[in-house]
A and B are shown apart, each in its own frame.
Chain A
Amino acid sequence: MRRMAIALFALLLAGCSLSGDDKPGDRTVVLVTHDSFAHDPAVFDRFTAETGIRVEVRKSGDAGALTNQLVLTKASPLGDVAFGVDTTFASRALDEGVFAEYRSPAAAEGPQRYVVDDSGRLTAVDVGDVCVNVDVAALESRGLPVPTGYADLADPKYKDLLVVEDPATSSPGLAFLLGTVASFRDGWVGYWEKLRANGVLVVSGWEEAYTQEFSGSSGQGPRPIVVSYASSPSAEIGEDGEPRTRALLDTCFRQVEYAGVLANAKNPEDAGKVVDLLLSPEFQRTVPEMMYVYPAREGVELPEAWAKAAPLPENPATLPAAEIQANRERWIEQWRAAVQG
């Protein structure tokens, strides 16, 4: 029996993932964020060397899941600073008092263009527009011109070619729906009825839409028109150096991602410094390649592939965060009735 117990204990130690747990240093800031967060470790390392602050990243879910977790844990937050609450969820986070006031000196360098309210609790870090993407070659082979805007998508010429994400389960899906609301106002339901008559395919997430149904990605699916991001074409550069896909810049909805210091944070002072880090030119330069989004700071150069394949849309549709918060669920219900009823 004793031998068995020893063997068991040895096994426990050998495989233990608990024993390798790193000890937090004196000045550690926990950054809570969503699954899509990605960063260049070198930038964070330099920050640690300069300030003595170590940044620990915790990811959980998409932007919606992140916001809701922050709301649930606001009395005892999971970290000190949060990044990734976006336009669609900003109002909920602010109404619930998730964030404390912190005005970064860098907020005037461009982020101020995307400010939600004047309370100084959320600072814009990046901009990621959701736009319709097209597979140029596939359209050409069908003898079709590249569509230019929303109206073309309802044109029978483009019947059965569009795939979109369900706004109830997908963040780009919701953004696209909001774009049509912003453009058509009261007529948006009618527009979706036309899309439905024109054979729009609805799938639950971006993965199926882009990697499986869309013909311009590695999955080489059947449909040449998809709802994705303004930046997606930069990942689809062909061997000749030309992008195989293109974003339709008149179908874009602007999604801004924000950072803020959490209320009740253990280390609010250092947390503010991490917000500064996210707004620094060094970090901002990396966001296109790392997260497929555009820097919120002005004067940050985009990578070469982006300049060619993925320019930032100039006149995207927008909606005030408060209006989205007030109507989100009703719009999704109306959309369900119109498109799937």
Chain B
Amino acid sequence: MARGRPGLSPALLGLLPLAFLAVFFAWPVGAIVRLGMDAAALDVLADPGTWRIVAFTLGQAAAATLVAVVAGLPVAFLLARVALPGMAVVRALVLVPFVLPTVVVGLAFRGLLGGGVLPIVLANAFFNVAVVARTVGGLWAHLDRRAEDAARSLGASRWRTFTAVTLPALTPALGSAAAVVFLFCATSFGVVLLLGGARFRTLETEIYLRTVELLDLSGASALSLVQVTAVVAVLVLGARARRRREAALKLRARVESARRPVGGEWWVVGAAYAVVALLVVPIASLVARSVDGGFAGYRALSGTGHAGSLSVTGWEAAANSLRTATDATVLALILGVSAAVALVSLRRARFIDALDTALMLPLGVSAVTVGFGYLITLDALPGDLRTSAALVPLAQALVVTPLVIRLVLPVLRSIDERLRQAAATLGAGPWRVWREVDLPLAGRSLLAAAGFGYVVALGEFGATSFLARPDTATLPVVIGRLVSRPGELNSQMAYAACTLLMVVTVAVALVVERLRAGELGEF
């Protein structure tokens, strides 16, 4: 760590993401909440109806998180430890739900299961299985298999080995994934609105209604404060649990740890395939709808929909999506890696939990609150960013950055401190230590973070639909737009665009996979 060495400490890198958060998150959110803070806001807090909404929000998010973790763990095992043909395809496939626009998934689930609480929980879990599988799988692939083999040869059962050796080692990643999934589910909007109707309301849908439709800013402010408080409480608990478990793990390359499953492992593999099959059901129903009645929808992608429903063609929207997601990913990687490096180098500082939590907050606050906050603050910046095309990648980066942190941080933290100390003893400065030790070891998870972040940015709908200009509309925005207009062609085109989005996602995931395989000096 080179404590006391002259020069810039890596901890200072943390200032970069903090500055970004301050301008594009804390300031706008603070401004809109302050605007609504008045006596009427207190009445909202005193209303028992508000607390029923809070309970339902947290309850459904906890249930969906549980489902996503239980379903995601076998898939994580499959991705991390199993060498069977077709793994690259499975890895790409589990990402698909994550990019699908909520409105389309909501419609698919309505078609399959109807409305109600269970479909809400399942749909939220559906989106997030990938988060668990990728985050946990990322660490799992690097765990030294020999510890487990030793436990086995000492007579421990497979289950005992899993609970006593593997699970504790996975806890940091599991905690990270669960926190992220919980935040996504607690703030999920489109799905709750579509499947819950007006009967099941969450903080997120209620904040949306009060802000966007009723302009009841005092009610919205009160609810936003409740939301932030709940989110912070969950994050602090999560960060505590993670840190208690942190230990330097011996990381290995994936090739060493993946092999053909043996014995009882086949059950886990079977469970993983069952989960993947369940994920495919709604996806398949969307693809089926896109070819319902021929390929008219696909041909329509080169146009702008029935009677010019759109300002861009389907292909232009796809290009917009790719461009915006690239910008957002690059920005999020810079911010997220800076933050992760700072968090690692501050590992013993007292305020680290607070910092960690602050960096995660954007995932837990309503996109509407942020969006309306932008309206009343960003005109103070030069160039009036409120109506600039640049705001979309900035807002997407706000969502992607916490994910990058969560993917990179567990790996960086589990790097043996002694490696860094050895490098420092040999005369390497802090930057050189980072470059020679951390970067090669975390390279794989960095790449995974880039790929995952890119996919998240591709699918981001809430902030993008609010901020995108008609000529810069992305695929999810275009899909949402098409299904909200009458006409058979629009509907067919929407589902074709959905399929296109899935194909792009799988292609991106496969390219990342290929790059990764080509990376020789990984360990």
Once A166-B198, A289-B307 are accepted as A-B contacts, the answer to whether A76 and B330 lie under 8 Å apart by CB is no
Tell me the complex Cα distance, A11–B324, Å.
Answer: 13
Interface of A is mostly: mixed
Which B residues are in CB contact (< 8 Å) with A6?
none
Cβ distance A111 to chain B, nearest Cβ, rounded Å: 23
A76 in contact with B309 (CB, 8 Å): no
Interface size class of A (residues with CB under 8 A): 35 or more
Cβ distance B367 to chain A, nearest Cβ, rounded Å: 12
A78 in contact with B375 (CB, 8 Å): yes
Which B residues are in CB contact (< 8 Å) with A210?
486
Tell me the complex Cα distance, A204–B327, Å.
Answer: 34
Cβ distance B119 to chain A, nearest Cβ, rounded Å: 13
Per-position contact with B for A1-19: 1 when CB-CB < 8 Å, else 0? 1000000100110111110
A69 in contact with B393 (CB, 8 Å): no
- Tell yes or no: B213 within 8 A of A by CB: yes
B435 in contact with A18 (CB, 8 Å): no
- Tell yes or no: A61 within 8 A of B by CB: yes
- What is the total of A-B residue contacts with beta carbons within 8 Å? 149
- Tell yes or no: A319 within 8 A of B by CB: no
In this complex, what residue of B is CB-closest to A221? B111
In this complex, what residue of A is CB-closest to B494? A211
Once A60-B466, A73-B376 are accepted as A-B contacts, the answer to whether A17 and B324 lie under 8 Å apart by CB is yes
Q: List 22 A-B contacts (CB under 8 A).
A: A1-B435, A15-B327, A17-B323, A17-B393, A36-B485, A57-B311, A57-B470, A59-B470, A68-B213, A72-B372, A72-B375, A73-B379, A166-B198, A203-B197, A207-B103, A210-B486, A217-B491, A218-B488, A290-B308, A292-B485, A336-B198, A340-B198
A15 in contact with B323 (CB, 8 Å): yes
A65 in contact with B213 (CB, 8 Å): yes
Tell me the complex Cα distance, A215–B406, Å.
Answer: 46
**Stretch with Cβ within 8 A of B (4 or more), from A143-151, A179-187, A189-197, A228-236:** A228-236
Per-position contact with A for B308-347: 1 when CB-CB < 8 Å, else 0? 1111000000001011101100100010000000000000
Per-position contact with B for A204-248: 1 when CB-CB < 8 Å, else 0? 111110111000011100000000110010011000000000000
Which A residues are in CB contact (< 8 Å) with B483?
207, 211
- Tell yes or no: B147 within 8 A of A by CB: no
Which A residues are in CB contact (< 8 Å) with B110?
208, 212
Which B residues are in CB contact (< 8 Å) with A40?
308
Interface residues of A in 136-192 (CB under 8 A from B): 166, 168-169
B197 in contact with A202 (CB, 8 Å): yes
A228 in contact with B486 (CB, 8 Å): yes
Tell me the complex Cα distance, A14–B329, Å.
Answer: 13
Which A residues are in CB contact (< 8 Å) with B214?
329
- Tell yes or no: A128 within 8 A of B by CB: no
- Tell yes or no: A277 within 8 A of B by CB: no
In this complex, what residue of A is CB-closest to B492? A218
Interface of B is mostly: helix
A168 in contact with B376 (CB, 8 Å): no
- Tell yes or no: B252 within 8 A of A by CB: no
Once A17-B392, A38-B309 are accepted as A-B contacts, the answer to whether A235 and B486 lie under 8 Å apart by CB is yes
- Tell yes or no: B194 within 8 A of A by CB: yes
Contact of A30 among B387, B472, B488 (CB under 8 A): B387
A35 in contact with B308 (CB, 8 Å): no
B212 in contact with A68 (CB, 8 Å): yes
Once A204-B193, A207-B103, A340-B199 are accepted as A-B contacts, the answer to whether A65 and B212 lie under 8 Å apart by CB is yes
Once A17-B324, A73-B376 are accepted as A-B contacts, the answer to whether A235 and B306 lie under 8 Å apart by CB is yes
Cβ distance A278 to chain B, nearest Cβ, rounded Å: 16
Once A11-B330, A169-B193, A169-B213 are accepted as A-B contacts, the answer to whether A208 and B487 lie under 8 Å apart by CB is no
- Tell yes or no: B242 within 8 A of A by CB: no
Interface residues of B in 387-417 (CB under 8 A from A): 387-390, 392-393
Residues of B within 8 A of A (CB): 103, 107, 110-111, 115, 193-194, 196-199, 209, 211-215, 306-311, 320, 322-324, 326-327, 330, 334, 372, 375-376, 379, 386-390, 392-393, 431, 435, 466, 469-470, 472, 481, 483-488, 491-492
Which A residues are in CB contact (< 8 Å) with B376?
72-73
Once A68-B215, A208-B107 are accepted as A-B contacts, the answer to whether A166 and B197 lie under 8 Å apart by CB is yes
Cβ distance B157 to chain A, nearest Cβ, rounded Å: 47
B372 in contact with A169 (CB, 8 Å): no
Tell me the complex Cα distance, A72–B371, Å.
Answer: 12
B215 in contact with A92 (CB, 8 Å): yes
Which A residues are in CB contact (< 8 Å) with B379?
73, 76
- Tell yes or no: A58 within 8 A of B by CB: yes
B209 in contact with A206 (CB, 8 Å): no
Tell me the complex Cα distance, A340–B199, Å.
Answer: 7
Once A18-B390, A35-B481 are accepted as A-B contacts, the answer to whether A8 and B330 lie under 8 Å apart by CB is yes
Cβ distance B497 to chain A, nearest Cβ, rounded Å: 15
Cβ distance A69 to chain B, nearest Cβ, rounded Å: 6
- Tell yes or no: A84 within 8 A of B by CB: no
In this complex, what residue of B is CB-closest to A57? B470
Contact of B193 among A65, A205, A218 (CB under 8 A): A205
- Tell yes or no: A94 within 8 A of B by CB: no
In this complex, what residue of A is CB-closest to B495? A218
- Tell yes or no: A100 within 8 A of B by CB: no
A38 in contact with B308 (CB, 8 Å): yes
- Tell yes or no: A64 within 8 A of B by CB: yes
Tell me the complex Cα distance, A316–B214, Å.
Answer: 26
- Tell yes or no: A321 within 8 A of B by CB: no
- Tell yes or no: A71 within 8 A of B by CB: yes
A204 in contact with B484 (CB, 8 Å): no
B387 in contact with A18 (CB, 8 Å): no
Which A residues are in CB contact (< 8 Å) with B322?
15
Contact of B107 among A38, A65, A212, A340 (CB under 8 A): A212
